[in-house]
Amino acid sequence: MPIRRLREFLDQHKVRYVVISHSPAYTAQGIAALTHIPGKELAKTVMVKLDGKMAMAVLPASYKVDFEHLRELSGAAVAELATEREFQDLFPECEPGAMPPFGNLYGMDVYAAESLAEDEEIAFNAGSHTELVRMAYKDFARLVNPRVLKFSYQKEFA
């Protein structure tokens, strides 16, 4: 069960959370719609490479990464989207593309979008395409200690 490692970590740190099961969904916006969670409160994990080093960019489902801002604010010379092939082996217990935003559990830096901190709670994939975890943003920030930066913008919908 992909969520086991995350649950153990949260329980060890005495964090209150809720696990939400849902039918399979593969996009952040699809999950938000299925679970009736506003896209701004559903955090998606985008794998990026900063100067070739793998990192997590965590942002609201309804936002996109501004790679130029991420590059500038992180101090990297190059910021780019990682391919699934490049990161799939880093998360052996997770389904592809469903890794939770806990880079500290995987030895990587985490960059959180400033807009995530505006909500009291966030929800995110828990290692599978059928389970989410919902918890207080302050607990996420305390456990992960992400660098909070303004590197994303809201998607425009036609």
Q: What are phi and psi of 140, to 5 degrees?
A: -55, -50
> In a 3-state reduction of DSSP, which class is residue 125?
strand
> With a threshold of 0.85, does the pTM exceed it?
yes
The two three-digit tokens of residue 74, written as one number: 């992180």
Biggest distance spanned by C-alpha atoms of the chain: 44
49 to 3, 37, 108: CA distances (angstroms): 25, 29, 11
Superfamily of domain 4-149: YbaK/aminoacyl-tRNA synthetase-associated domain (3.90.960.10)
- Each of the 158 residues of the chain gets a pLDDT tens digit; together they read 467 889 999 999 999 999 999 998 888 878 888 888 887 889 999 999 999 999 999 999 889 999 999 999 999 999 999 999 999 899 988 998 899 999 999 999 999 999 998 889 999 999 999 999 999 999 999 999 999 999 999 876 54
- pLDDT value at residue 158: 47
- pLDDT value at residue 2: 61
Burial class (CB in 10 A: 0-12, 13-18, 19+), 12: exposed
> Could you state, in order of their start, the residue ranges of all structural domains in the chain?
4-149
CA distance 100 to 123: 10
